[in-house]
Structure 1
Amino acid sequence: MQRVLAGIAQNNFVVLGRAGMDFFPDPPGTKTEEADTFKAGLGGSSANIAAGLVKLGGQAALVTSVSDDSVGRYCLRQLQNYGVDCAHVKSVGGEFRNSLAVYETRVEEHQSVIYRNGAADFQFTAQDAAEVDYSQYGALVTAGTVFAAEPSRSAAFHAFDLAQAAGLPIIFDVDYRPYSWPSPQVAEEVLSRAGALSDIIVGNDEEFGFMAGGIDKGLAKARSLSKSTAKIVIYKMGEKGAITFADDQELHTGIYPVTALKPTGAGDSFMAGFLASVSQGMLLQEAVLRGSACAAIVVGKPGCAPAMPYPDDLETFLAQHPGPSEVKE
């Protein structure tokens, strides 16, 4: 555990995975098919996490591939604007394209359409992974979509090996997106393999259930991972809060109820807020709660990376909010 916490305390992260462009109808509440105006923002799970970490005062380098076109350059420019280190963001030509998410800033009848055919980020290679000097970072962070296709899958496992050899803890957000995978069977096998190599695993009840072969088995899966390979496992349960497994303890925490504008971006903001809080030496329970507060902030605003809080935003939210909900067993 001390190795993991010491790595996070450096507050300097190498993040594997995609950056994408988000489109969302404006004003909030508008259906996509009825929209005349759209706004754009940086998206993609790993890019969101990296931007969130930097906005909260940390350092983050993204390792990925983007398309060699205007959309890829848009993503690169946005990453740079947030202060994310893009030294290991590679442009790829041909017919590879950046992922695009078109989603609504509305909860009722929310629609989200993801375009991932020929995704540029799946062109992340083992050579790309080997070009990173992992000793310059405190921890490696990734989301499950990096494993969904080759060559990115093998490259990500190679990055795991290199990071572990350099002494970095591995932080893994399961982030299962069925549309990215060739089959549920492949996803279950690969995500379970990644989880077994990780020091910190974050996922929701459905994702752990998926890895275990049934949602009713998800909690037991999370608990077993914490007792075997992982140092910290966070089992998220939506409005019921979360259970954090660490050092043979189970910490139950609630959420910060808000009037949500949309459901997207919460998990990425949670991860950024949690890691930023751990890096500041906060106890796990407080770090999880602050991650939950970051998630609440993001679902209350349009966009994903643009909605991620700065430290003042987080402190203001915590000061004005009545507090987390009671834990629902």
Structure 2
Amino acid sequence: MSALLDGIKGNRFAVFGRAGMDMFADPVGTKSEHAETFRADLGGSSANICAGLVKLGSAASLITSVSDDAVGRFALNRLAHYGVDTSFIRVLGGEYRLSLAVYESCIEDFQNVIYRNGAVDFQVTEDDMDAVDYTRFSALITAGTVFASEPSRSATFRAFENARKAGLPVIFDIDYRPYSWPSADVASDVLSRAGDESDLIVGNDEEFGFMAGGIEHGLDKARELAAKGKMVIYKMGEGGAVTFADGQEIRTGIYPVTAVKPNGAGDSFMAGLLSSIADGHSLRDAVLRGSACASIVVSQPGCAPAMPTTAQLDDFLSNHSGPTEA
């Protein structure tokens, strides 16, 4: 556990997974099918985590592939805008395409349409992973979607091996998206393997339940992984979170807000958690700060643009009543 915390406190993160383009209906409350104007910004879970980390003072590099077209260049430009290092991103020609998410800032009957045909981020290879300079980083982060297809599945497990050799801890956001996987059985097997090979595992009750074969077994799955010496954060939405670390179960609440959308919360939570540990906050406080980041993001349009800076996070915590009782 000390090696994990030391890696996080090094505050230099290699992040594996997709970048994308988000298009969200404007103004707030407009349904996508009635919108005349959409705003565009960076999207994709791993890219969002990177943007959130950098806004909170951490260093983050995204390792992925993007398409050699206007949309791929858009993502690269937005990553640069947020201060994310792009030196290990491969630009790939041909018919592969960057992911596109079209959604709305409207919590009732929320719609998020994902275009993932020929997803370019699935095309990262073991050679791409071997080209990464792991000595530049103190910890590795990956979102679970990278494991949904080859060659990115094998490539990311290669990155795990390379990280181990370099002494870097592995941080795993389960991030289960059924539409990306060939079958639920494959997803369960592969995500369970990724969990076994990770040092910190973050997921919600449905994701742990999926890995365990039923949501009613999710908490037991989290405890099982924690018993192997891992840190595990089990998120329960409005019910808060349970953090398993060094034999402890730390229960924390949330910061209620008026949400305008549900997406982006998990990415912001991860960024807030890790940057707060790096800044010297206790584990309990770091989880609460991650929860506050999640609340901030769901209360605003977009994902990457809604990620808070440290000053914005501290202001939110100073002026918000909470958290709720766990």
Q: TM range, normalised to the smaller chain? A: over 0.9
Does 2:122 match 1:107? Answer: no
Query: 1:300 maps to what in 2?
Result: 299
**Aligned letter for 1:68?**
D
TM-score, scaled to structure 1? 0.98
User: Partners of 2:227 and 2:12 in 1: how far apart?
Assistant: 27
Query: 1:90 maps to what in 2?
Result: 90
Does 2:81 match 1:81? Answer: yes
DSSP-derived class of the 2:86 partner: strand
Query: 2:52 maps to what in 1?
Result: 52
What does residue range 219-234 of structure 1 map to in structure 2 within 5 Å? 219-230=219-230, 232-234=231-233
**Aligned letter for 1:207?**
E
Query: 2:12 maps to what in 1?
Result: 12
Query: 1:149 maps to what in 2?
Result: 149
Deviations 1:167-218 (A, max 9, x none): 0000000000001111111100000000000000000000000000000000
Tell me which stretches of 4 or more aligned residues in structure 1 moved more than 2 Å: none
Query: 1:120 maps to what in 2?
Result: 120
Query: 1:133 maps to what in 2?
Result: 133
User: Partners of 2:214 and 2:321 in 1: how far apart?
Assistant: 36
Query: 1:41 maps to what in 2?
Result: 41
Q: CA deviation at 1:117?
A: 1.0
Query: 2:290 maps to what in 1?
Result: 291
**Aligned letter for 1:312?**
A
Query: 2:72 maps to what in 1?
Result: 72
User: Partners of 2:188 and 2:131 in 1: how far apart?
Assistant: 29
User: Partners of 1:203 and 1:7 in 2: how far apart?
Assistant: 20
User: Partners of 1:181 and 1:4 in 2: how far apart?
Assistant: 29
Count of matched residue positions in the alignment of Structure 1 and Structure 2: 326
DSSP-derived class of the 1:102 partner: strand
Unpaired runs of 5+ in structure 1? none
Contact 2:229–2:246 (CA<8 Å) still a contact in 1? Answer: no
Unpaired runs of 5+ in structure 2? none
User: Partners of 2:215 and 2:7 in 1: how far apart?
Assistant: 32
What does residue range 167-316 of structure 1 map to in structure 2 within 5 Å? 167-230=167-230, 232-316=231-315
Deviations 1:115-144 (A, max 9, x none): 111000001100000000112100000100
Deviations 1:252-281 (A, max 9, x none): 000000000100100000000000001112
Query: 1:23 maps to what in 2?
Result: 23
- % identical equivalent positions: 66
Contact 1:197–1:229 (CA<8 Å) still a contact in 2? Answer: no
Q: Could you say what the CA RMSD is over the residues aligned between the two structures, in angstroms?
A: 0.6
DSSP-derived class of the 1:86 partner: coil
TM-score, scaled to structure 2? 0.99
User: Partners of 1:222 and 1:65 in 2: how far apart?
Assistant: 32
Contact 2:22–2:101 (CA<8 Å) still a contact in 1? Answer: yes
Q: CA deviation at 1:229?
A: 4.6
Contact 1:129–1:156 (CA<8 Å) still a contact in 2? Answer: yes
Contact 1:219–1:235 (CA<8 Å) still a contact in 2? Answer: yes
Contact 1:198–1:229 (CA<8 Å) still a contact in 2? Answer: no
Contact 1:196–1:229 (CA<8 Å) still a contact in 2? Answer: no
Deviations 1:22-43 (A, max 9, x none): 0111001101110110000101
**Aligned letter for 2:236?**
M
User: Partners of 2:81 and 2:111 in 1: how far apart?
Assistant: 28
User: Partners of 1:228 and 1:316 in 2: how far apart?
Assistant: 38
User: Partners of 2:72 and 2:47 in 1: how far apart?
Assistant: 13
**Aligned letter for 2:290?**
G
What does residue range 155-166 of structure 1 map to in structure 2 within 5 Å? 155-166=155-166
User: Partners of 1:174 and 1:229 in 2: how far apart?
Assistant: 18
User: Partners of 1:80 and 1:146 in 2: how far apart?
Assistant: 22
Contact 1:28–1:105 (CA<8 Å) still a contact in 2? Answer: yes
Q: CA deviation at 1:108?
A: 0.4
